[in-house]
Amino acid sequence: MLRISKITDYGTLLMTRMAVEPARVQSASELALALGLGVPVVSKILKSLARHGLLVAARGFRGGYSLSRSPERISLADIVDALEEQPFGMTQCSAAAGLCTREADCVVRTSWRSINGIVRRALEDVSVASMLQPSAGVRPGAGRQQGAGQQPVVLERTPRRIVAGPGLGPEVARKRRKQPTRMQP
């Protein structure tokens, strides 16, 4: 199964949360609490994102991190590149040349490289801003600019999951958590 790492998944969640208020400096502990993640993991991810130029670090008493550019100009490919340990590739030989002994005689290498390019372009076409849009799925190239009348999605910590919805404020989330669950006999 093709899957990104948990670190990259959390990195995408952190970047999307920060995109709600892109200019605001947010601390690792504040983000960890808001998203229900551990502070050490969040700190590690934020440092890596800053090292790769996606975040700006501010030191001092009110220190933390903020986005280095607008969320419309940060793609999922940028996040994957910053957080994955190896170069992006669906297969070993599609990531870089010379990594496979069968490379010269491989009949599927060209196809895998083509598929790799398609997936890569799809990740490049999805911005962090588009991840905030509650549309019916993420469409490549969509969401680079927030349309008129659309409200951003607010991400908030709940005991077991992240609740996301257009304009979902703390008061709505609290009401949802307090409602008793009905059990069927």
Q: Mean pLDDT per 10-residue run, the chain (185 residues)?
A: 85 96 94 96 97 94 93 96 82 72 82 88 94 64 43 43 45 45 45
Res 8: pLDDT: 94
What are the tens digits of pLDDT across the range 108-146? 888 888 888 899 899 999 999 999 886 645 555 544 344
CATH number of the domain enclosing 50: 1.10.10.10
What pLDDT is stored for residue 106 in this prediction? 84
Domain annotation covers residue 34 = yes
What is the Cα Rg of the chain in Å? 19
Tell me, what's the pLDDT at 141? 52
Query: What is the number of residues in the chain?
Result: 185
Let me know if residue 115 belongs to a domain: yes
124 part of a folded domain: yes
Q: According to the model, what pLDDT value does residue 45 have?
A: 97
Residue 184 lies in a domain: no
Kindly state whether residue 185 falls inside one of the protein's structural domains. no
Please list, residue by residue across 4-17, b when 16 or more beta carbons sit within 10 angstroms of its beta carbon and e when fewer do. Answer: eeebbebbbbbbbb
Q: Is the pTM of this model over 0.85?
A: no
| pLDDT recorded at residue 37 | 96
Question: Does residue 151 belong to any structural domain of this protein?
Answer: yes
| Number of domains making up the chain | 1
**2 phi/psi in degrees, rounded to 5:** -85, 130
Give the pLDDT confidence score for residue 87 in this predicted structure.
72
pLDDT, position 110: 83
**156 in a domain, yes or no?**
yes
The domain in which residue 120 lies consists of 6-178
**Domain-embedded: residue 126:** yes
Tokens at 21, concatenated = 């208020």
Listed in sequence order, the residues at least 6 apart from 128 whose beta carbon sits closer than 8 Å to its beta carbon are: 12, 15, 16, 19, 67, 71, 72, 74, 75, 76, 79
Residue-level pLDDT at 88: 77
